[in-house]
Amino acid sequence: MSIVVTGATGNLGRHVVEQLLEKVPAEQITAVVRDEARAADLAARGVRLAVADYNAPETFDGLFAAGDKVLLVSGNEFDKGRVGQHKVVIEAAKAAGVALLAYTSAPGSLTAALADDHKGTEAAILESGVPYSLLRNGWYNENYTEQLAPVLQTNAVTQATGEGRVASASRADYAAAAVAVLTGEGHENTTYELSGDTAWSFAEYAAELSRQTGREITYNAVSVDDFVGILTTHAGLPGPFAAILGGVEASIAKGELAGTSGDLSRLTGRPTTPIADSIALALKG
Cβ neighbourhood burial of 232 (10 Å; 0-12, 13-18, 19+): middle
Task: Count the neighbouring beta carbons within 10 Å of the beta carbon of residue 269.
Answer: 8
Q: How far apart are CA 15 and CA 169, in angstroms?
A: 14
CA angle (98 as vertex; 95, 100 as ends), nearest 5:
135
pTM for the complete prediction?
0.96
> In the predicted model, what is the mean pLDDT of the chain?
97
- Tens digits of per-residue pLDDT, 149-183? 999 999 999 999 999 999 999 999 999 999 999 99
Mean pLDDT of 72-96: 92
Query: Is residue 1 predicted with pLDDT exceeding 90?
Result: no
Q: How far apart are CA 161 and CA 158, in angstroms?
A: 9
Task: Count the neighbouring beta carbons within 10 Å of the beta carbon of residue 234.
Answer: 10
Q: Taking Cα atoms as reference points, which of 137, 198, 170, 154 lies closest to residue 279?
A: 170
% of the chain residues with pLDDT over 70: 100
Mean pLDDT of 59-87: 93
Mean pLDDT of 36-62: 96
pLDDT of residue 83: 96
Question: 68-82, 205-219, 233-247: which has the highest mean pLDDT?
Answer: 205-219
pLDDT-derived band at 77 (thresholds 50, 70, 90) equals confident
Query: Is residue 79 predicted with pLDDT exceeding 80?
Result: no
pLDDT of residue 237: 92
Task: Count the neighbouring beta carbons within 10 Å of the beta carbon of residue 134.
Answer: 23
Where is 31: in which H helix or E strand? Answer: strand 29-33
pLDDT of residue 39: 97
β-pairing, 69-72 vs 3-5, is: parallel
Mean pLDDT of 36-45: 96
Query: Is residue 47 predicted with pLDDT exceeding 90?
Result: yes
Query: Lowest-pLDDT range, 55-64, 72-81, 137-146, 165-174?
Result: 72-81
Query: Is residue 80 predicted with pLDDT exceeding 80?
Result: no
Using an 8 Å Cβ cutoff, are 72 and 102 in contact? yes
